[in-house]
Amino acid sequence: MRLELIKRGNPSRALQFLSPLIGLALAVVTGAIMFAILGKDPLAALYVYFVEPLTELWSVHELLIKAAPLILMGAGLSVCYLSNNWNIGAEGQFIMGALAGSIFPVLFTDLQTPFVLPLMMVFAIVGGALWAGIPALLKAKFNTNEILVSLMLVYVAELILDYLVRGPWRNPGGMNFPESVRFHSFARIPELMPADGRANWGIVIAIVVAIAIWVMLSRTLKGFEIKVLGTSPRAGKFAGFDAKKMIFFSFLLAGACAGLAGIIEVAGASAQLRPIISPGYGFTAIIVAFLGRLNPLGVIVAGLVLALTYLGGEAAQISLGLSDKVARVFQGALLLYILACDTLIHYRIRFARAPKASGSVADA
């Protein structure tokens, strides 16, 4: 017996719309079972995980801080995936964008003018885009696997960051801790409501960028080109669209969004570089993109939901004494269920007998 997937002729539109909600519900059920196995009351644990982080204003601010990079990277990755280019290295592009944008507050500490922050953002966008351009170039010129290249570059970026904060960029007055100098006020993203919490204008930037990408995808010829090449490269070729140019466009756009997310993170809540500046935002953004149905407007909602899992994981550590890996388990289950739901909506499963070997083959 063997398992076969048979493409459905007319997949249900209602189920396609409900797929993320079904996946989320299944992930919640899985979470409840996991909490029960760990010896915790499932309902109380789910309350701590999903509701408690929203009961105080300062916690909502933290939610917005974590959602900003997820929304930015999720929107950029949506363009990659819609065009059938599989960028798995947003985490590395996030780091390189943060490093490129931090050149000014770290190396030019005396340069304190209102132009510093815009320059940091421009450098971060360029840094993230250039790092994403490496797998794009290798795929376009040598047909290398962009999944492997972009993923391996994540670890290269992490090592570069670690080297810099422990070496040339380490704060001379930081008691030998591996961190850069604190960013001055001109290199910080202003907070939205300083009296209530730390949330800054990064969340506004993220939402504006996501809306701009949505407009591009739904209202412009470039958006049509992205969808055609992603769905049918052969049809795109007949329409005169260049698949290799699309590789560069999608990767550079996603890298630019990730780089911008990186500088928003370090110039916002962190205010300095450390060996670890991301809890895995780049990989979580992949889940955000698919949970949002590769639609930048859906990505905004998905980014808030996944940001809540980070806060819930922290609350579960404090209130329930659980491991910080709980959030990763939930995020992984969510991605698994979403992909499984999408697969079953578009394909049906059939069990078929394995073909018998011919007489000549059997004799041989």
The 10s digit of each residue's pLDDT in 176-192 is 899 999 999 999 999 99
To the nearest whole number, what is the mean pLDDT of the chain? 90
pTM of the model: 0.91
pLDDT score of 164 more than 50 = yes
> What residues contact 355, with CB distance under 8 A and at least 6 apart?
none
pLDDT score of 207 more than 80 = yes
Residue 358: its pLDDT value, please?
Answer: 55
Report how far residue 112's alpha carbon sits from residue 121's, in angstroms, rounded to the nearest whole number.
15
pLDDT score of 244 more than 90 = yes
CB 106 within 8 A of CB 169: yes
pLDDT score of 361 more than 80 = no
Per 3-state DSSP, the chain is made up of helix, strand and coil in percentages (nearest 5) of 70, 5, 25
- Give the mean model confidence (pLDDT) for residues 83-92: 96
- Structural tokens at position 195: 């009296």
User: Which residue's structure tokens are 């470039």?
Assistant: 222
Residue 188: its pLDDT value, please?
Answer: 94
Residue type, 13: R
Residue 364: its pLDDT value, please?
Answer: 47
Residue type, 193: M
- Give the mean model confidence (pLDDT) for residues 118-140: 97
pLDDT score of 214 more than 90 = yes
Q: Which residue has the higher pLDDT, 317 or 103?
A: 103
Share of the chain above pLDDT 70, in %: 97
| 3-state DSSP assignment of residue 248 | helix
Report how far residue 199's alpha carbon sits from residue 58's, in angstroms, rounded to the nearest whole number.
9
| 3-state DSSP assignment of residue 348 | strand
Q: At 9, which helix (H) or strand (E)? A: none
| 3-state DSSP assignment of residue 239 | coil
CB 135 within 8 A of CB 255: no
First-to-last C-alpha distance (Å) of the chain = 23
pLDDT score of 350 more than 60 = yes
Task: Transcribe 262-306 into DSSP letters.
Answer: HHHHIIIII-S--S---SSHHHHHHHHHHHTTT-HHHHHHHHHHH
Residue 170: its pLDDT value, please?
Answer: 94
Residue 180: name the closest of 276, 272, 275, 278 by CA.
272
pLDDT score of 7 more than 90 = no
Residue 339: its pLDDT value, please?
Answer: 87
Is the Cα torsion angle 272, 322, 25, 147 positive or negative in sign?
positive
The 10s digit of each residue's pLDDT in 271-306 is 899 999 999 999 999 999 998 999 999 999 999 999
- Structural tokens at position 142: 């040598």
Report how far residue 204's alpha carbon sits from residue 3's, in angstroms, rounded to the nearest whole number.
47
